[in-house]
A and B are shown apart, each in its own frame.
Chain A
Amino acid sequence: MQAAAIKLTDLTVAYDRHPAIHHVSGEFKPGSLTAVVGPNGAGKTTLLKAIIGLLRPAEGRVELSGVKHQDIAYLPQQAEIDRAFPITVLDAVLIGYWRRVGALGAIDARSTERALNALDAVGLSGFAERPVAMMSAGQFQRALFARVMLQDAPVILLDEPFAAIDTRTTRDLLELVRRWHGESRTIVAVLHDLDQVRDNFPEAVMVARECLGWGATKDVLTAENLLRARQMSEAWDDEAALCLPAKQA
């Protein structure tokens, strides 16, 4: 697998001019396994969406090397997916082939075989023909991981992949993440469980609108940084002044 890197330069992403990510710079190195942590409303999801190009930077830029943004595998939070939609688990997983087959390409027997194997790998053997509406949140999350497997992407972004997932499933899926890491894929995961981050993720980024730390996990998840993150005000300041570059201010 060709290792790919993501470089953020002075990245600001704003909603209605209020920044959710404010002047963040740093690099996700090729083949790195990084956790993004921070309080609610800190801009973690915004950061991921800016990387894949779903949100446009208000300032600064995202540079990708070794991967096009269309080829990044992105696992969204479940709330963004219509889980009542009438589709079988197998079809939902096969969506992972979209970049290869497009609107009209055929999905051959071997691809289907690989999809079934991916379902086995996430512990969903026998679920292929079930409607997704009949799965629990945890089972559905496993199916989304199977879809990411089929996407076979050099960069994988996971948005709260273990929210509302039981311990055993989390352990299985973490194992899968480690396997991807072993295949030199660049992985970024938004997470809340700090012990889990310390145990499994060599690198971490802490954001609270601004970037509070970026580097080896033990250097980032310090008591001091966590305190600073907690002090972030979630509310917008409607009277906030314009943010001007230092040289003009």
Chain B
Amino acid sequence: MPYDYLIAPFAEFAFMRRALVATLALSLGCGPVGVILVLRRMSLIGDAMSHAVLPGAAIGFVVAGLSLWWMSLGGFVAGILVAVLSGLAARATTLREDASFAAFYLISLALGVALVSTHGSNVDLMRVLFGTVLAVDDAALLLVAAISTVSLFALAAIYRPLVIECFDPGFLSAAGARGGLYHLAFMVLVVVNLVAGFQAMGTLMAVGMMMLPATAARFWAREVWPLSAIAVAIGFTSGAAGLVISYHLNVPSGPAIVMTAGAIYVVSLIAGRHDSIIARHWPRAHLRA
């Protein structure tokens, strides 16, 4: 029965409903941020950042156990620190930003794993890395919702310069605008959205909610805001489907959601409207003009 299979888990269990709302909030925040990351050719920076928040979350864990606030604050501080240090290293030396990001996030990740494994059980480590829907209590839900709200407003405020900087990087600097400041503000948004994600998804999987919907959306739209809207829709669909799969098959919620998003990505890659494999190899009949 479709009802038993799809609706019942949410109707019966409050934690499933909270997780569902949390994934909606997450996809609202992560979708547009992911789209801009893809357009800035920084897809893998999101990945690096998601690892970078780990030691901060771990320090929060060591200080206060499985505390939402401490782990989130720790993750936020660690993420910002890695973003700023990488940015500074890239500007102070000839090293490119991606290379310095790789260096700092690896240090950060190793530190995080060391901290969690010396101070907690393996179960705790698994929880921080992969998340669990059971972690989403009312407080976590509020935090996630608050982060999405703030990040959507902040993104709206810096949207125009961000788009201009991706499209024609020389323009803003020629016009005397502080492109670097907007870049930094955007990196803060990346970090807070990853922090929002790691309660439900775990630090390793949180980035999946950001990058996979954004990448899949590229096959369906050709402007920045439709891309964002589609990314949000894909994110939420994967969230809902992933939760159902996680419930029935007893797999952790993070991987279940990311695998669903991955499946949508593969389908988009093959059958999307623009530039997909099918669109390229079996083009529709051409027009007269």
How far does the Cβ of B229 sit from chain A's closest Cβ, in whole Å?
13
Complex CA gap A80/B182 in Å reads 20
A242 part of interface (Cβ distance < 8 Å): no
Binds A, one of B47-55, B61-69, B127-135, B171-179: B171-179
* Contact present for A86 and B223 (CB under 8 Å): yes
* Contact present for A76 and B170 (CB under 8 Å): yes
Interface size bracket, B side: 20 to 34
* Contact present for B170 and A85 (CB under 8 Å): no
* Contact present for A80 and B174 (CB under 8 Å): no
B157 part of interface (Cβ distance < 8 Å): yes
* Contact present for B223 and A87 (CB under 8 Å): yes
Chain B interface main SS type: helix
Binds A, one of B142-150, B159-167, B235-243, B280-288: B159-167
Q: A52-B174, A103-B158 are in contact. List 9 more A-B contacts (CB 8 A).
A: A53-B176, A74-B171, A80-B170, A86-B227, A98-B160, A98-B175, A103-B157, A104-B160, A131-B222
B221 part of interface (Cβ distance < 8 Å): yes
* Contact present for A85 and B174 (CB under 8 Å): no
* Contact present for B166 and A103 (CB under 8 Å): no
Contact with A along B192-205 (1 / 0, CB 8 A): 00000000000000
* Contact present for B167 and A81 (CB under 8 Å): yes
In the complex with contacts A81-B168, A82-B168, A131-B222, A87-B174 CB distance below 8 A: no
| 3 pairs of A and B residues whose beta carbons are closest in the complex | A70-B176, A85-B167, A81-B168
Interface residues of B (CB under 8 A from A): 39, 157-161, 163-164, 166-177, 182, 221-224, 227
Of the candidates B167, B177, B221, which one forms a contact with A87 in the assembled complex, judged by CB atoms under 8 Å apart? Answer: B167
Interface residues of A (CB under 8 A from B): 52-54, 68-70, 72, 74, 76, 80-82, 85-88, 91-92, 95, 98-99, 102-104, 131, 133
Complex CA gap A227/B159 in Å reads 50
Complex CA gap A123/B177 in Å reads 31
* Contact present for A131 and B223 (CB under 8 Å): yes
* Contact present for A95 and B164 (CB under 8 Å): yes
How far does the Cβ of B246 sit from chain A's closest Cβ, in whole Å?
33
Residue of B nearest to A72 (CB): B174
Complex CA gap A54/B175 in Å reads 10
Q: Which residues of A contact B39 (CB under 8 A)?
A: 85-86
* Contact present for A82 and B157 (CB under 8 Å): no
Q: Which residues of A contact B177 (CB under 8 A)?
A: 98
* Contact present for B170 and A54 (CB under 8 Å): yes
How far does the Cβ of A179 sit from chain B's closest Cβ, in whole Å?
23
Complex CA gap A215/B158 in Å reads 45
Q: Which residues of A contact B166 (CB under 8 A)?
A: 82, 85
